[in-house]
Amino acid sequence: MNILVTGSKGFIGTNLVTRLNKDGHNVYDYDLHIGDLTHLQALDNYSKVGIDHIFHLAGKTYVPESWSNPGMFYSVNVLGTNTVLEFCRKTRTPLTYISSYLYGSPKYLPIDEKHPIQPSNPYSHSKHIAEQMVNYFTETFQLKTTVFRPFNAYGPGQPSHFIIPEIISKTFDSAVSEIVVNDLRPKRDYIYIDDIVDALILSISGHPGIYNLGSGFSTSIQELITLISQTTSVCKPFKGLNIERRGEIFDLYADITYINKAMGWAPKTLLQTGIKKCIDTFRKNNSENR
């Protein structure tokens, strides 16, 4: 199949492209090195190719940055999605869209797809608007679309400002005598990158709808530090500064019943296994760079 992946150089995108190539698909990647997706004609050249499926992953994703530069998030995430939807409308190409955690402070746990939408930061609000656009185009123009709402993705190669690679880096940094984080309390549902890619691949064969992607349980920052310490056998003192992020949520985890019934999908990677893979990759990369 001819498959177009926007955001192909991002964390999820690079892993997806690797899997698609391995599966024998003809992959067309689109990222900032190719062009600006906020321009409505950005994908016009691909109409001549005969694209069979689009994965729209491109967008701004770092929540703290969305508070300092919200306009950029709305521009990239909303206008970029509009460009992709217009392409799908004109070419009748099926779409898989990666949305975000949109539920805000949970009214109940676990969180299913029927939970009220309550964006808690500019990033999630921009993704909510984009998701609404996907739903509208789906209903109005009879597009074939699948929307995934991943909780907290992690895995080897994730940017260093995310919490798991940050803790691993501090654990191995000899200049760091104590691991200090803003807050030890928040609990999140961490989903390994390979499990996310598994779900994305399943969507090629159909399965329209909106689906949570998560592990089904939550882990605190303190528990992450302890797990990484046990796995590395590097025991450093740690502390939290009790600095709450704006709009902080202290516990959340996904109900993944719907995707399990619809696609037969369930995460395969235990948190302990995924953390070990992250640590092994970090060690390997550091030894190669010496």
In CATH, what number is assigned to the domain containing residue 173?
Answer: 3.40.50.720
Q: What is the pLDDT of residue 289?
A: 66
- In this prediction, the residues of the chain whose per-residue pLDDT falls under 70 are 289-290
- The whole-model pTM stands at 0.95
Which residue reads 């940055």 in tokens? 65
Structure tokens at 187: 């609990």
Q: What gap in Å lies between CA 18 and CA 8, rounded to an integer? A: 10
Q: What gap in Å lies between CA 214 and CA 151, rounded to an integer? A: 5
Q: What is the pLDDT of residue 246?
A: 83
Classify 124 as helix, strand or coil.
helix
Q: What is the pLDDT of residue 290?
A: 60
Q: What is the pLDDT of residue 50?
A: 95
Please enumerate in sequence order all residues whose Cβ is within 8 A of that of 287, keeping only pairs 6 or more positions apart, or say none. none
Q: What gap in Å lies between CA 91 and CA 85, rounded to an integer? A: 10
Q: What is the pLDDT of residue 245?
A: 86
**Pairing assessment for the beta strands 187-188 and 219-220 based on DSSP bridges:** antiparallel
Tally of domains in the chain: 1
Residue 272 in contact with residue 232, Cβ under 8 Å?
no
Quick: pLDDT tens for 26-35. 999 999 899 9
Domain that holds residue 169: 2-288
Please enumerate in sequence order all residues whose Cβ is within 8 A of that of 160, keeping only pairs 6 or more positions apart, or say none. 166, 169
Q: What is the pLDDT of residue 212?
A: 98
**DSSP strand E in 7-124: where?**
26-30, 53-56, 95-98
